[in-house]
Amino acid sequence: MALPYLQTIVLSIDESFWFLISILALSLSIYVFTKRLKTGQSLPIPPGPKGLPLLGNLLSLEPEIHTHFATLAKTYGPIFTLKLGLKLCVVITSPSLAREILKDQDTIFANRDIPAVALAMPYGGKDIVFTPYGPEWRMLRRVCVHDMLGTSTLDSVYPIRFQEMRNTVKHLYGKAGCSVNIGEMMFLMVINVVTNMLWGSSVSASERASIGSEFRKVVEEITQQIGKPNVSDFIPWLAWFDLQGVCKKMRKSGMKFDRIFNDVIDKSRRLGMNELDGDEDGGIKDFLQVLLKLKDEKNAKISLTMNHIKALLLDMVVGGTDTTSNTIEFAMAEMMNKPEIIKKVQEELDNVVGKNKMVQECHIPNLPYLTSVMKEVLRLHPALPLMVPHCPSDSRVIGETYTIPKSARVFINVWAIHRDPLLWENPLEFNPDRFVEGRGDYSGKDFSYIPFGSGRRSCAGIVMAERMTMFSLASLLHSFDWKLPEGEKLNIEEKFGIVLKKRTPLIAVPTPRLSNSALYELSNI
């Protein structure tokens, strides 16, 4: 008697179970369908490693993130996803996919996912790096590329670069036979060049050294905070707590920076703009004058504010110092590891410049082999190995296969693309000859070689970076021979950061090589 009753109960449970499953499946289908209609997502997101709840893949990240991403690409392909906390990240390791993002769909991917530490600055998000794509950003880009870093403006402040290089050469001459830290030396030289170009004529010569010294300390603090992984970026609802104190430290550094700039700007204002119209030949004395003039223009569609000015100048210092000095240090290390390359560069310099005078920037166009050296350094050791991440303003399909959702953080692994054996022969070998025949247009048209990025968000300071790197390398190699200290071994290992660094500083010993010791004394152009 009990058996039919039991069968009825089991049958009832079975029917209820499948009915419930059907309802859940239908609900899920409706949700996914409406979600896709809302976001435009018709294809899946790229594959990637599974992560933990809430934390995602954060705990599995390795310190050398650029190499870690390259390793993951071997498993998951040239496009894959990681969940870093609540943030979905997409990593691209393919020239064709990079082209889609940086060129074909550039306007969609031209925005940034602004980190909390950038917003902690007094004028955070007002610079050319993080301002959202639109009219304001186009105005800043135009000011930066045409008014600050245009060819004519850079030509007008060449005496500053020349004098600082002469100071460095004289200092190295006094250190002949002794060990010097190449990276540190170049950082000090580059930051002196940049700050003097920024406000060199707006402050007195006696004030320049103290302001420059104080500014160097602030820049070091800022770059240190920007480079730290911040949990607030991965789990946004924790941002209010600032658990690591990164934003607090950045605000403190930002206040120091703001005080320095307010002081410099006040000095410039007191001099009077009528006295700062340029030199007798109509040249520009410093970038601050250019920006203050543009701020006072009344016919601009979008006004340049004081916060814009300070943010642009911060970009100049932070973006133009570490990147350039690290590239020079990597170049010297790679060449010292292959002395035959140094010999070839010095032969070219001796033929073009001679050993009875100093290198000048006008010699650079006639140094094709040294240009190939610089291009090869930027291939092996791109200054920003993952570039500044892009952030799509809408969901988009990439490679006709995967959807990149709106607001994802998109990394282009330039470091991995530059070392892809399918694109480069013997990719781990330092070989400038691969660029001798004209390859290596770093304007962003060749997506197998994009050390300065590509598209709207490509580096605005390419011309400045090329001039500083080439002029520095030419001066170091023309004026001196170089060797390692006795018993030291050369190490070219990298250390990951927003800006790629050498893991260990390059320590080298200079030996003067010019025919006349008087050439090492300070002189004007």
Q: How much is the pLDDT for 512? A: 96
Compute CA 490 distance to the chain's CA centroid, rounded to the nearest angstrom: 26
Q: Which helix (H) or strand (E) holds 113?
A: none
- Contact assessment for residue 517 and residue 356, using Cβ atoms and an 8 Å cutoff: no
Strand 396-398 relative to strand 180-181, pairing: unpaired
Residues 170-197: what's their mean pLDDT?
91
Lowest mean pLDDT among 48-52, 266-270, 350-354, 434-438: 266-270
Q: What are phi and psi of 520, to 5 degrees?
A: -85, -5
Q: How much is the pLDDT for 300? A: 67
Compute CA 244 distance to the chain's CA centroid, rounded to the nearest angstrom: 24
Task: For residue 4, name the pLDDT band (cuts at 50, 70, 90).
Answer: very low
Torsion sign, CA atoms 112, 379, 191, 144: negative
Answer yes or no: is pLDDT of 21 > 60: no
The better pLDDT of the pair 349, 304 is held by: 349
Q: How much is the pLDDT for 16? A: 44
Residues 478-495: what's their mean pLDDT?
94
DSSP state for residue 497 in the 8-state scheme:
S
Q: Is residue 51 in some structural domain?
A: no
Residue pLDDT, tens place only, 66-96? 999 999 999 999 999 999 999 999 999 999 9
Q: How much is the pLDDT for 203? A: 58
Q: What are phi and psi of 493, to 5 degrees?
A: -65, 150
Residues 46-57: what's their mean pLDDT?
94
DSSP state for residue 365 in the 8-state scheme:
G
Lowest mean pLDDT among 191-195, 241-245, 282-286: 282-286
Domain that holds residue 143: 58-520
Listed in order, strand segments (DSSP E) in 35-186 are: 79-84, 87-92, 180-181
Q: Is residue 47 in some structural domain?
A: no
Answer yes or no: is pLDDT of 523 > 50: yes
The better pLDDT of the pair 173, 208 is held by: 173
Q: How much is the pLDDT for 421? A: 97
Q: How much is the pLDDT for 343? A: 97
Q: How much is the pLDDT for 57? A: 94
Q: How much is the pLDDT for 397? A: 96
Q: Is residue 34 in some structural domain?
A: no
For residue 413 the two structure tokens come to 């692994």
Q: Is residue 31 in some structural domain?
A: no
For residue 346 the two structure tokens come to 């010095």
Q: How much is the pLDDT for 369? A: 96
Q: How much is the pLDDT for 321? A: 87
Q: How much is the pLDDT for 27? A: 45
Q: How much is the pLDDT for 33? A: 47
Answer yes or no: is pLDDT of 487 > 60: yes
Residue pLDDT, tens place only, 103-157? 999 999 999 988 998 888 878 788 899 999 999 999 999 999 888 888 888 898 8
Q: Is residue 12 in some structural domain?
A: no
Instruction: Note the helical H segments in 200-272.
Output: 205-226, 231-234, 246-271
Lowest mean pLDDT among 199-208, 332-341, 399-408, 438-447: 199-208
Contacts of 393 (CB under 8 A, 6+ apart): 108, 110, 111, 133, 406
Residue pLDDT, tens place only, 251-277? 998 888 888 888 888 877 776 554 544
Task: For residue 348, name the pLDDT band (cuts at 50, 70, 90).
Answer: very high
Q: How much is the pLDDT for 124? A: 78
In the chain, the largest separation of any two C-alpha atoms, in whole Å, equals 118
Q: What is the pTM of this model?
A: 0.87
Residues 197-207: what's their mean pLDDT?
68
Q: How much is the pLDDT for 326? A: 94
Strand 507-512 relative to strand 180-181, pairing: antiparallel
Q: Is residue 17 in some structural domain?
A: no
Q: How much is the pLDDT for 276? A: 44
Cβ-count burial of 207 within 10 angstroms (0-12 exposed, 13-18 middle, 19+ buried)? middle
Residue pLDDT, tens place only, 435-458? 987 777 888 899 999 999 999 999
Residues 475-499: what's their mean pLDDT?
93
Q: How many domains does the chain have?
A: 1
- Contact assessment for residue 42 and residue 401, using Cβ atoms and an 8 Å cutoff: no
The overall average pLDDT reported for the chain is 85
> What CATH code is carried by the domain that includes residue 417?
1.10.630.10
Q: Is residue 9 in some structural domain?
A: no
Q: Is residue 289 in some structural domain?
A: yes
For residue 223 the two structure tokens come to 């770059």
